[in-house]
Amino acid sequence: MRSPDGPASPTKRNGASGWRLPSSEGDAGYTNGAGAATHRPRQKERLSRWQMIALTCSMGGSQIAWTVELGYGTPYLLSLGMSEAMTPLVWLAGPISGLVVQPLIGAISDSSTSRYRRRYWVVASTVLLVLSSLGLAFTVPVAKAIVDLFGGGQGDWDPNTGAMVRDLSIAIAIFCFYCLDFALNGLQASLRNLVFDVTPSDQLNTANAWNGRFNHLGSIVGFTMGFINLDNVRWLKWLGGEQFRKLCVLSLVLLVTTVWITCRFVQEDERPRHFHRQSKLRDVLATVKEAIVTLPKPVRRICLVQIAAFMGWFPFLFYATTYVINVMGLELGKEPDMSVAARAGSFAMLIYSFVAIIAGTVLPWFSERDPRLIGTTYDADSADEDETLDSEFARERAHQAEIGPVREEVRQWKLEGLKLPRSEWHSPKPTLLTSVPFLLRDIWTWALVLFFVLMMGTFAVRKVWQATVLISLVGICWAVACWV
C-alpha cells in the first residue's frame, strides 16, 4: 500500500487551458503550494435518501424567497411610488451580486480548513436574508418611525411628511433588495458548494437532481402562496399590512426551517491544517481571473450565448408579473386592483413552474443515447491503487472490443446518409455529417428560438388568459436553460 506522502494521484489535464483537475471528487488529494500531494482525505460515505433530502431541502427554501422577489418585487416598488423606469436599477442587484458574490464566497470557503467552511456562509447569508426581508415587509412602518423620530414634517396630515415617508420607504426598499440579492446568491452558492463537499462522486447526479426538484418545488410553493389571498387567512391578520408582508414572513419561516435542517443534519469534514490556504483577497481574485482568462474556446462560446440569453431572461423573470398587471389594465380599460392583478401574475408564474417541471422531466428522455456509442476513457483515479497497468490495458481492450462493432455500424449509417460511393469513404476530404436530432445543442438552440418567438408574441397579447398561456410556455425554455 502506498504511503500518504507518496506521489500525487494522477490528475486530468485540460489540453486547452492547462487546468489541473482532480479526476474524482471523492478521492482527490490536496496539494501544497508547490503542487505536491500532502494528504488524501477519507472516502466520503454514501448518502441515504433522507440524508440527500436534508442536504438539498435548503435550496427549496431559498427558491421560495427568490419567487417572492420575482413575483412581487416590482409591484411592491411601484406601490411605494417608484417610477417604472427606475425599477431596472434595483434589479441590477441580481447580476451584480451573482458576478461578485458567488465566485468570491466559493474561493474563500474553498481555502478554509474548518468543518464549518460552507455552513458558516449558509448561516451568514440566511441571517442577512432574514433581516433584509423583514426590512422589506415593514418598510413603510420603519420609514414612518424614522421620520417621526427625527421630527420630519408636522404630522400625518402634512404633505411634506408624506413625501419624506415615501422617499425614505423607497430608499429602504432599494437597500433591502440589494441585500436580499447578495444574500440569496451567497446562500445558493454555499449550498451548491456544500453538496459537492459532502456528496460522493457517484451520487453527484442524484444530488443535483434533488437540488432541481427542490428548486421547482420552491417555485411552486412560492407562487402558490402569492396566488392565495393571504389577507383572508385568519392567523396571519395580526401581521397587518398587505399581501407582500405576509408573503415575506411565510417565506422566511420556510427558509429558516430548511436551513436549520441542512445545518443540523449535514456534517462537513475538517481539512488538514497543512492544506494550502489562499487567505489573501489578492490571491482569491487572481484565481477567479485565471479561471476566466483560461476558459477553453467552446466553454467561452457557451458563456457568451448565456450572457445574451440572460439579457432576455432577467427582464422576463422580474417583470412577468408586472406584464400581467399591465395586460389586465389594458383588458379592463382602467387601472386594475393591484392585489387582484398581482395574484393573477402569480397564478401565471405558478402554471409556468408546473410546465417547467414537466418539461424538465420529459425532455431529458429525448437526449438519451446508448452509452456504448459514447467514447469513454478509463479513469485511473477511480481504480484501486494496487491495480496493475496490465489489468487497466485489459479492461480498455475489452471495452474497445465491445463498442467497436457498434461504432462501425453507426459510421456506415452516417456515410450512407451522405450518399457517398464506397470509394470515397476513406477520403481525407472533410465532409459534413448529417444532423442527428435531439442532441443537447439542438434542444438548447430550439428552446432559445422558442423563447425569442414567445417574447415577440408579447406585443400581440391583449387578454390576461393569453398572457398566462404565453408565460406558461416560457416554462419549457426555462426548464431547458436550467438543465442544459
For residues 268 and 320, membership in a common domain is answered with: no
Give a yes or no: residue 172 inside a domain: yes
Spell 448-458 as b/e; 16+ CB within 10 A means b.
beebeebeeee
- Picking from 216, 309, 212, 244, the residue whose alpha carbon sits closest to that of residue 71 is 244
For residues 139 and 168, membership in a common domain is answered with: yes
* Number of residues that make up the chain: 484
For residues 206 and 165, membership in a common domain is answered with: yes
Type and span of the H or E element at 30: strand 30-31
For residues 17 and 38, membership in a common domain is answered with: yes
Give a yes or no: residue 385 inside a domain: no
Give a yes or no: residue 121 inside a domain: yes
C-alpha cell at 373: 456509442
Give a yes or no: residue 256 inside a domain: yes
Give a yes or no: residue 167 inside a domain: yes
* Residue 413 pLDDT: 61
Say if residues 248 and 63 touch (Cβ distance below 8 Å): no
* Residue 26 pLDDT: 39
Domain boundary among 268, 294, 320: 294
Going by C-beta distance under 8 Å and a sequence separation of 6 or more, which residues neighbour residue 44? 26, 198, 199, 200, 201
The ranges of the chain with pLDDT < 50 are 1-39, 278, 372-389, 430-435
* Residue 392 pLDDT: 54
- CA 133 – CA 245 distance, rounded (Å): 9
Taking residue 92's Cβ as centre, other Cβ atoms within 10 Å add up to 12
For residues 211 and 93, membership in a common domain is answered with: yes
For residues 98 and 201, membership in a common domain is answered with: yes
For residues 231 and 281, membership in a common domain is answered with: yes
Domain boundary among 230, 261, 294: 294
Give a yes or no: residue 382 inside a domain: no
Q: In terms of C-beta density within 10 A (0-12 exposed, 13-18 middle, 19 or more buried), how is residue 184 classed?
A: buried
Say if residues 198 and 266 touch (Cβ distance below 8 Å): yes
* Residue 404 pLDDT: 64
Task: State whether residue 22 is helix, strand or coil.
Answer: strand
For residues 27 and 53, membership in a common domain is answered with: no
Give a yes or no: residue 396 inside a domain: no
For residues 155 and 276, membership in a common domain is answered with: yes
- CA 262 – CA 73 distance, rounded (Å): 27
* Residue 274 pLDDT: 52
For residues 312 and 265, membership in a common domain is answered with: no
Residue 447 vs residues 260, 343, 372: alpha-carbon distances, Å? 37, 28, 28
- Picking from 363, 318, 252, the residue whose alpha carbon sits closest to that of residue 88 is 318
- CA 336 – CA 112 distance, rounded (Å): 53
For residues 315 and 444, membership in a common domain is answered with: yes
Domain boundary among 294, 310, 334: 294
Give a yes or no: residue 377 inside a domain: no
- Picking from 358, 371, 368, the residue whose alpha carbon sits closest to that of residue 436 is 368
As a whole number of angstroms, the longest Cα–Cα distance in the chain is 96
For residues 19 and 76, membership in a common domain is answered with: no
Domain that holds residue 107: 48-294
* Residue 22 pLDDT: 37
Q: How far is CA 287 from the centre of its chain?
A: 22
* Residue 295 pLDDT: 75
Number of structural domains (the chain) is 3
